[in-house]
A and B are shown apart, each in its own frame.
Chain A
């Protein structure tokens, strides 16, 4: 197994600021906009984006929730891996809101498909957008594309993209892992 550094901490920081700016460009005051981090790994990215919006760009009243999609996945009982549930925490109404889903890696699109179903349990949003740090293009199983992407990566199926966050893994970095 070998791993290649795709993005360093510095590069990640620049990309996150760009993504935050693109969000501001489209959502200005975030009046009807809510951010939803997809559990488990999207939560770190969502926290970070919110922090940049609030601390660096003085956007006030940014709402952030976390959505767990375990019970909505389409591979229940199909794989060897036991699905592990995480906490869903959405303490605002999503009805008529503009939602931005935030996840670290967009791969087959199945997680986002599950998230689209899951979020319906909370109401009917006005629209849903997708922000992702890494977009593994050419590997989609479903017609799902991000509205905001950090970096496009061409990786074959045997390869894995791993995103580390300082809060969880000790430092910010994105690796391409070859088996």
Chain B
């Protein structure tokens, strides 16, 4: 096993192909560990990790916390809603205060793009980006690719369509970087208003007809419509969005092949995906959640192995 080329996980765009392979190979071992009767290893018992969530999160925060605990790290949690951030403290001050309690690693979610990168330049700790605004969400993209690899054998050469709100989605951006790095073909599909201009520059194709996109792909990653990030209306109504870009059983059955359905959660059931699709065998949504813990264990373990005493 070699080591990661980076000291922080700020985004997929800072990783190379070998990093991704190393993370996945390590995650394979941790996946075996978390299926044992006792799902815990003592590797990180001298590491303290702070989870700083300046933005709401349920599954990512729980997944990180579980990953850290399964590695035996000490964990402290912080959420902005109940903190001194409300009293006007700056990000660097907040984090330096936490680091002075001898914290080795920071897992941070923040509403501002680049917050993790900024922090990595100013504090002495490994930073893991758990989502920065509409920029990147690297561990989500890693667990998505890992889940594709698990279901289809490999990611290279596969055709993946990312459907929905591409404009506001850090999941979409990180996924595009990760999939391209592994040699997959990527299309994005959604209302024109929710597809960023010049996205083709990233080497992806744009398709506005969902049926065509699904007929082309091996995997469809259905994104959530992020109403909380929309100050204006990007489409006339939720009902119209669902009619054009929602996936239902009838649509899937009309395809001449079986595709894999993914969703990063939380699902708006009946909007981007119907219940019968979300709960079908084609959907690997709960596999994604389970793999999330293994992949995050791998990322944390590999970054921690670079912390020198």
Contacts and interface: CB of A to CB of B under 8 A. Distances in A.
5 contacts: A71-B42, A72-B43, A77-B307, A85-B26, A122-B37
B304 interface: yes
A117 B36 CA distance: 14
B36 A77 contact: no
Given A71-B43, A72-B42, A82-B1, A87 B29 contact: yes
Interface of A: 68, 70-72, 76-78, 82-85, 87-88, 117-118, 120-123
Contacts of A71: 29, 33, 41-43, 71, 301
Nearest to B309: A77
Given A87-B29, A122-B36, A72 B305 contact: no
Given A82-B2, A82-B3, A121 B37 contact: yes
A83 B32 CA distance: 18
Nearest to A85: B29
Interface in B294-309: 301, 304-305, 307-309
Contacts of B38: 120-122
Contacts of A77: 304-305, 307-309
Contacts of B32: 87-88
A164 B298 CA distance: 31
B180 interface: no
B61 interface: no
A85 B3 CA distance: 12
B211 interface: no
A117 B40 CA distance: 11
B306 to A, nearest CB: 8
Contacts of A78: 309
Nearest to A76: B43
Given A121-B36, A121-B37, A83 B305 contact: yes
